[in-house]
Chains A and B, each alone.
Chain A
Amino acid sequence: MAEVEETLKRIQTHEGVIGTIVVNAEGIPIRTTLDNSTTVQYAGLLHQLTMKARSTVRDIDPQNDLTFLRIRSKKHEIMVAPDKEYMLIVIQNPSE
């Protein structure tokens, strides 16, 4: 328990990380370091995208599964790590 907290804390304080969001299986954010409206927006949109990505991967091969998803944009990089019950979203400014 404490280990997880520590890990999340380390991620949050890592260089370049703008925000972290923990989302549950229904797409509801349970933990965040950003403001409410942004969080809700990110959670909703990324949840759908992750579901779609996962569906795609599994349709091609049902034994496969999505490990993580990275979206690199002009301004920053959004990383999503999905799990059976939870999903972690991290927005980072890559060091370039």
Chain B
Amino acid sequence: MPVTHKTLVKSKQGSNAQSQQKPLAAKTAKVVSKKKDEDDGTEIGEGGDEWMHGKTLIKPPDQLDLTEAELKEEFTRILTANNPHAPQNIVRYSFKERSYKPISSVDQLAVHFFLEGNLLHRDSDEARRQKAKQGLPDEKATVVTETEDEKLETPLQAAGGEEAGDVEEGGGEDGAHSVDSKTGKKEQKLTNQFNFSERASQTLNNPLRERGCQTEPPPRASFSATANQWEIYDVYLEEMQKQEKNKEKAKAVPKKEDDKGKKKLTLVETQSDDLTKVAKVAKIIERMVNQNTFDDIAQDFRYFEDASDEFREQEGTLLPLWKFQYDQAKRLSVTALCWNQSYKDLFAVGLGSYDFTKQGRGMLVFYSLKNSTYPEYNYPTTSGILCLDIHPDRPYLVAVGFYDGCVAVYNLKEERPEPVYKSSSKSGKHTDPVWQVRWQKDDMDNHQNFFSVSSDGRVVSWTLVKSELVFTDIIKLSLVGAVSEGPEGVPPPTMACGTSFDFHKQINYLFLVGTEEGKIHKCSKAYSSQFLETYDAHNMAVDAVKWNQFHPKVFISCSSDWTVKIWDHTIRTPVFIFDLNAAVGDVAWSPYSSTVFAAVTADGKVHVFDLGINKYEAICQQPVVAKKKTKLTHIEFNPVYPIIIVGDDRGYVTSLKLSPNLRSKPKEKKGQELPRGPEVEIAKMEKLLSLLREPENSKA
């Protein structure tokens, strides 16, 4: 140690002595002196010698030689607090300017020595914590802590001990204060080194108890679904329907009773067998199966056009398609046929009997072209049906006329087999068979109404009012012509028997009635006792009378006297007469041409006429039913498809397709576009009629 002292001193001295010299020399001198110091540090003896010889200046060999003047030159040296080791040119990369920038101020602090102490300020957190720790084991206060304030708080020691105990039991709220006071007092507590005994006690620890309970895990079910566009659409649709239902419920609140009744019904339905829901699907499948079986017929119906018609100049043929028969209707004859105007493949068949002696039950059967083996709807009736008509606007309403004189209305939407309305003897039913019914347009009160004609000579209008049929006699047919008295002076019956009627397509109030006597009366709804006109039509009962679908003046009539006659209602004699060699059962105009009509005869033939092509003969005469004993009773054209249905007296309905020649349209002239539509048809007919009228005029 003394050596180092010396060396230090010496170095200082050396440096001071040489501080007046040039800095370089000073540096080197310093270095040299330092080296010397190192050497001196080891050799004590030499160090002593040199100290003795300190007065004589020893020049080191490589010392610079300077002149006196240079030696006396004064150099100012500034003592700064700069750290000589600190770097002077630190640069830092500035991201803002994207370049290296020198830092202006460099930290000059140089730490020479660092020692961490273990003193804490008494108010700091750590100190407090430590005090608290020390304060808790208060009874063990023999731990000697280097306290300073012994004298001051001795009288509080005893109190401190008690207080500490109280505080312990109390809780930790005043922990800080008590700890402070505790520690303060504890520090002053003097412990006797000889007979000090410490007593400790432990409070009872509350026994620990673990309690747990297990619940039943909630039932889990795994669920998977797909989220497609259509599933989302379905959900939205359901929502909308629910909302609409709610709206309806809000509106129909006063009708609570009805709703309750309906609810009960729906509940009962859901409890019943689930197979009822398969109904719709089963129907579809049945149709598909039928389509497969009768695949060729379906194809023919759609696509077959008889190519040989090109070679048959004017004649056409009828291609048989489906045959409709129903087991339970075998012994009945077809008494009425009607196509449905809205559903073009649905038609109604009325079954009954024309035979006066064999009167029994009847049936109303609906067939669809899509299923020829089984009817869509069928209603058995007690009396034979003689006529039917489907409402043009409401395709589910069917008016039916019976042999026993009743009329009834069936609603196809309802499930029950009875008619919705039925006339009875109280409500003005006919006393004789009803031969024809026709729906009319709704009257002023929006009630549906229809007309019926019967052998008792009355034309009656029936109105559907709520749940009843209200009848109004429109006209009573009276016998026109010579009335001869009966053999015993009994006045002859004055009523004629109506057997058919038809309403004019455009003029609402005008209608024709055919009678059993063979006369046709033109009547108006307005006049109830007078006829507008009477035509001497046939020698036997007029079976059918029909207005032309296009031309407003023309109508056709047929009768069992083997003739079909075409009339212009302004002329009292027929315009055309056709003799068909057998009793004509029915005649019908075609919906696509004003000059085409078809008739069926009792010998099983269908005759199709086109007056535009041949005015004198049929362009098609074809037997349609196998056995010649079968009589054809009715015929109807389909409003859309080129097919006709023919009913016979064995209960069969046959459908036939018209060949192209039968539905020919007038030839187009080159360069001219043919105007389509009813006007053309009217013009065609008019032309025909004018041809006939001219010779008459010329005659007249």
Contact = CB atoms under 8 A, between A and B. Distances in A.
A40 interface: no
A46 to B, nearest CB: 13
Interface residues of B, number: 32
Contacts of A88: 278, 281-282, 284-285
A85 interface: yes
Contacts of A85: 274, 277
Given A10-B374, A86-B278, A15 B288 contact: no
Task: State the majority secondary structure of interface residues on B.
Answer: helix
Interface residues of A, number: 36
Interface string A71-96: 00000010101110111101010111
Interface in A37-80: 55, 58-59, 62-63, 67-68, 70, 77, 79
B266 to A, nearest CB: 16
A59 B281 contact: no
A28 interface: no
Contacts of A5: 275
B272 interface: yes
A8 B275 CA distance: 10
Nearest to B292: A94
Given A59-B228, A68-B288, A83 B272 contact: no
Interface in B216-249: 226, 228-230, 232-234
Contacts of B282: 4, 7-8, 11, 81, 88
A70 B288 contact: yes
Given A4-B278, A59-B229, A62-B230, A95 B292 contact: yes
A81 B284 CA distance: 7
Interface in B164-216: none
| Most chain B beta-carbon neighbours within 10 Å: one of A4, A15, A85 | A4
B295 A3 contact: no
B293 A86 contact: no
B289 A11 contact: yes
B288 A79 contact: yes
Interface in B596-626: none
Interface in A16-48: 16-17, 20, 22
Contacts of B273: 1
B286 interface: yes
Contacts of B232: 62
Interface string B257-281: 0000000000000001111111111
A85 B279 CA distance: 11
Contacts of B226: 55
Nearest to A64: B230
Contacts of A94: 292-293, 295
B292 A82 contact: no
B285 A1 contact: no
A17 B273 CA distance: 25
B271 to A, nearest CB: 12
A81 B288 CA distance: 9
Given A59-B228, A62-B229, A10 B281 contact: no
Contacts of B292: 16, 77, 79, 92, 94-95
Task: State the majority secondary structure of interface residues on A.
Answer: mixed
B15 interface: no
Nearest to A84: B277
A59 B227 CA distance: 11
Contacts, number: 100
Given A4-B276, A58-B228, A59-B229, A86 B290 contact: no
A14 B289 contact: yes
Contact of B277 (A20, A62, A83): A83
B373 interface: yes
B283 interface: yes
A85 B396 CA distance: 28
Interface in B357-380: 373-374
A92 to B, nearest CB: 6
Contact of B284 (A1, A63, A67, A77): A67
Contacts of A16: 289, 292-293
B232 to A, nearest CB: 8
A58 B233 CA distance: 10
A11 B286 contact: yes
Given A59-B228, A59-B230, A86-B277, A7 B286 contact: yes
Given A59-B229, A83-B278, A85-B277, A7 B289 contact: no
Contacts of B275: 1, 4-5, 22
Nearest to A70: B288
A55 B226 CA distance: 10
A94 B275 CA distance: 27
A81 B279 contact: no
Nearest to A63: B233
A4 B283 CA distance: 9
Given A1-B273, A11-B286, A59-B229, A86 B281 contact: yes
A10 B326 CA distance: 13
Contacts of B230: 55, 58-59, 62
Nearest to A15: B293
A10 B229 CA distance: 39
A67 B234 CA distance: 17
B279 A7 contact: yes
A22 B278 contact: yes
B289 to A, nearest CB: 5
B288 A82 contact: no
Given A1-B273, A59-B229, A79 B289 contact: yes
Nearest to A51: B226
Contacts of B278: 4, 8, 22, 83, 86, 88
A4 B279 contact: yes
A1 B276 contact: yes
A52 to B, nearest CB: 11
Contacts of A14: 286, 289-290, 293, 373
B289 A55 contact: no
A90 B289 contact: yes
| Most chain A beta-carbon neighbours within 10 Å: one of B234, B275, B284, B290 | B275
A86 to B, nearest CB: 5
A59 B72 CA distance: 109
A81 B279 CA distance: 11
Contacts of B283: 7
Interface of B: 226, 228-230, 232-234, 272-286, 288-290, 292-296, 373-374
Given A1-B272, A55-B228, 19 more contacts: A4-B276, A4-B278, A4-B279, A5-B275, A7-B279, A8-B282, A14-B286, A16-B292, A58-B228, A63-B233, A68-B284, A81-B282, A82-B281, A83-B278, A85-B277, A86-B277, A86-B278, A90-B288, A94-B293
25 contacts: A1-B272, A4-B276, A4-B282, A10-B373, A11-B285, A14-B286, A14-B289, A14-B293, A16-B293, A55-B230, A62-B229, A62-B230, A62-B232, A62-B233, A63-B233, A67-B284, A68-B285, A79-B288, A79-B292, A81-B285, A85-B277, A88-B285, A95-B292, A95-B293, A95-B295
Interface pairs A-B: 4 shortest CB-CB: A58-B230, A62-B233, A62-B230, A83-B281
